[in-house]
Amino acid sequence: MNRDNPNHEHIFRLAILAKTGDQFANQVLCERFTPLVYATVSRYREHVQDREDLLQVGYESLLRAIREFDPAQGVYFAHFAKLRVRAGVYVAVRRSEARQNRGFADLRHNGARIDHLLANAVDSQACHPYQATEWSDLFSLLSPRERIAVEWTVLRDFSTREVADIYGVSKETVKTWRRRALKKLRSAISE
């Protein structure tokens, strides 16, 4: 890593000191990266989540970045902190959206997505129009985790990695939820 830039060297030293528990270095780094936290939070101003909560998440992510920074990896601390703050705020926004949208009340408005689900999840004979009540009955057969997998990966087109990050589980776990859910839906539709 090139440490010829005095600014990078200064930040690097502060990060090392803060990592060892120096409160003054921690405070200086937080003040130095305040514009980063505010800029990251301002990217999500259209979301309903309270701005103060997102700022707190941004600062928590920055403090976590200070604790987890490994100088042996050869990465600039500023870049490492930027990635961690952005990721932390992004995940908080996604989790907030997930909590707000857990219900399936909006299934009536997702006719095209439901057709997509039928086309990809069941055989061609089962692809006839379903009413909202029939969909509610079908989804009541699924466990809460299976509903999450179907809603997020099929109806909302999220990747399994994104869903895993939102719910704090592994990617393989989300795949298992989805596989079980689609199997149940196929079975129920074909009967």
CB 181 within 8 A of CB 142: yes
Pair of tokens at residue 99: 């909590």
Place of tokens 């998440």: 57
- Residues 112, 179, single domain; the answer is yes
- Residues 96, 112, single domain; the answer is no
Looking at 73, 100, 127, the residue that finishes a domain is 100
Work out the pLDDT band at 172, boundaries 50, 70, 90: very high
Q: What is the pLDDT of residue 176?
A: 92
Residue 57 has pLDDT above 80, yes or no: yes
3-state secondary structure of 56: helix
Q: What is the pLDDT of residue 141?
A: 82
User: Beta-carbon neighbour count of residue 161 at 10 Å?
Assistant: 11
CB 146 within 8 A of CB 186: no
Identify the CATH number of the domain in which residue 53 sits. Answer: 1.10.1740.10
pLDDT in tens, 35-47: 988 888 888 766 5
Residue 126 has pLDDT above 50, yes or no: no
- Residues 39, 90, single domain; the answer is yes
Looking at 82, 100, 118, the residue that finishes a domain is 100
Q: Which domain holds residue 18?
A: 6-100
| 77 vs 100, residue with greater confidence | 77
CB 178 within 8 A of CB 143: no
pLDDT in tens, 140-164: 788 888 888 888 887 777 888 888 8
Looking at 57, 79, 100, the residue that finishes a domain is 100
User: Beta-carbon neighbour count of residue 183 at 10 Å?
Assistant: 12
Sequence letter at residue 115:
D
CB 89 within 8 A of CB 41: yes
What is the pLDDT of the chain when averaged over all its residues?
Answer: 75
Calculate mean pLDDT across residues 33-61.
82
pTM: 0.50
